[in-house]
Chain A
Amino acid sequence: MEYIPNILFAILLIAGVGYFTKNVRKLTRNIKLGRDVDRSDNKSERWKNMAMIALGQSKMVRRPIAGLLHIIVYVGFVIINIEVLEIIIDGLFGTHRIFETVIGETVYGFLIGSFEILAVAVLVTVIIFWLRRNVIKLKRFLSAEMKGWPKSDGNIILYFEVVLMTLFLVMNASDIPFQEAGHGNVISQYLYPLFEGTENIEMANMVERTAWWLHIAGILIFLNYLYYSKHLHILLAFPNTWYANLKPKGEFVNDAAVTKEVMLMMDPNADPFAAPAEGEDEGEPEKFGASDVQDLHWVQLMNSYTCTECGRCTSECPANQTGKKLSPRKIMMDTRDRLEEVGKNIDANNGTFVDDGKALLNDYITPEELWACTSCNACVEACPVNIDPLSIIIEMRKYLVMEQSAAPSELNVMMGNIENNGAPWPYNQMDRLNWKDEN
Chain B
Amino acid sequence: MKVPTMAEYMAEGKQPEVLFWVGCAGSFDDRAKKITKAFVKILNNANVEFAVLGAEESCTGDPAKRAGNEFLFQMQAVTNIEVMNAYEVKKVVTACPHCFNTIKNEYPSLGGNYDVVHHTQFLKSLLDDGRLTIEGGHFKGKRITFHDPCYLGRANDVYEAPRELIRKLDVELVEMKNCRKKGLCCGAGGAQMFKDAEPGNKEVNIERTEQALEVQPDIIAAGCPFCNTMMTDGIKNKEKEDSIVVQDIAELIANAQDL
The residues of A with any CB-CB pair to B shorter than 8 Å are 247-252, 254-255, 258-259, 261-263, 265-266, 288-289, 316, 318-319, 321-326, 368, 371-378, 380-381, 394, 396-402, 407-408, 410-411, 413-415, 418-419, 422-425, 427, 429-436, 438
- Assuming the A-B contacts A252-B106, A378-B184, A435-B27, are A402 and B70 also in contact, with contact meaning beta carbons closer than 8 angstroms in the complex? yes
Q: Kindly identify which residue among A262, A289, A394, A429 contacts B75, using a CB–CB cutoff of 8 Å.
A: A262
Name B84-111 residues within 8 Å CB distance of A. Answer: 101, 104-106, 109-110
Q: A326 to B198, Cβ gap below 8 A? A: yes
Can you give 9 contacting A-B residue pairs, CB < 8 Å? Answer: A250-B156, A254-B74, A266-B78, A378-B183, A381-B181, A411-B67, A419-B75, A422-B76, A429-B58
Q: A372 to B197, Cβ gap below 8 A? A: yes
Determine the distance from Cα of A46 to Cα of B104 in the docked complex, in whole angstroms: 23
Q: A435 to B198, Cβ gap below 8 A? A: no
Contacts of B199 in A (CB 8 A): 323-325, 368
Contacts of B194 in A (CB 8 A): 410-411, 413-414, 424
**A-B contacts besides A325-B199, A427-B27, 19 pairs, CB < 8 Å:** A248-B157, A249-B156, A250-B101, A250-B155, A258-B70, A259-B109, A319-B200, A325-B200, A371-B195, A374-B188, A381-B182, A396-B68, A397-B68, A414-B67, A415-B63, A422-B76, A423-B24, A430-B55, A433-B54
Q: Kindly identify which residue among B5, B67, B185 contacts A433, using a CB–CB cutoff of 8 Å.
A: B5
Q: A263 to B106, Cβ gap below 8 A? A: no
Q: B74 to A423, Cβ gap below 8 A? A: no
Contacts of A394 in B (CB 8 A): 66, 68
CB of A113 to closest CB in B, whole Å:
40
Mask for B1-13, Cβ within 8 A of A = 1, else 0? 1010100000000
Size of the B side of the interface (Cβ < 8 Å), in residues, is: 75
When C-beta atoms are compared, the residue in chain A nearest to B190 turns out to be A375
Contacts across chains A and B counted by CB atoms under 8 Å = 221
Q: Which of B129-137, B201-209, B212-220, B238-246 lies at the binding interface?
A: B201-209
B192 interfacial contact with A, CB 8 Å: yes
Q: B68 to A289, Cβ gap below 8 A? A: yes
Determine the distance from Cα of A250 to Cα of B99 in the docked complex, in whole angstroms: 11
Determine the distance from Cα of A414 to Cα of B196 in the docked complex, in whole angstroms: 12
When C-beta atoms are compared, the residue in chain B nearest to A413 turns out to be B194
Contacts of A397 in B (CB 8 A): 66-68
The residues of B with any CB-CB pair to A shorter than 8 Å are 1, 3, 5, 22, 24, 26-29, 33, 36-37, 52-55, 57-59, 61, 63-72, 74-79, 82, 101, 104-106, 109-110, 150-151, 154-157, 181-185, 187-204, 206-208
Q: Give the 7 A-B residue pairs with the shortest CB-CB distance, closest first.
A: A250-B155, A375-B190, A397-B68, A422-B58, A323-B201, A323-B200, A251-B105
Contacts of B68 in A (CB 8 A): 289, 394, 396-402, 407
- Assuming the A-B contacts A322-B203, A432-B55, are A258 and B189 also in contact, with contact meaning beta carbons closer than 8 angstroms in the complex? no
Contacts of B197 in A (CB 8 A): 322, 324, 372
Q: Kindly identify which residue among A250, A255, A399, A402 contacts B105, using a CB–CB cutoff of 8 Å.
A: A250
- Assuming the A-B contacts A259-B110, A322-B201, A415-B69, are A424 and B63 also in contact, with contact meaning beta carbons closer than 8 angstroms in the complex? yes
Determine the distance from Cα of A395 to Cα of B179 in the docked complex, in whole angstroms: 28
CB of B241 to closest CB in A, whole Å:
22
CB of B120 to closest CB in A, whole Å:
16
- Assuming the A-B contacts A251-B101, A394-B68, A419-B72, are A378 and B185 also in contact, with contact meaning beta carbons closer than 8 angstroms in the complex? yes
Contacts of A396 in B (CB 8 A): 68
Q: B195 to A408, Cβ gap below 8 A? A: yes
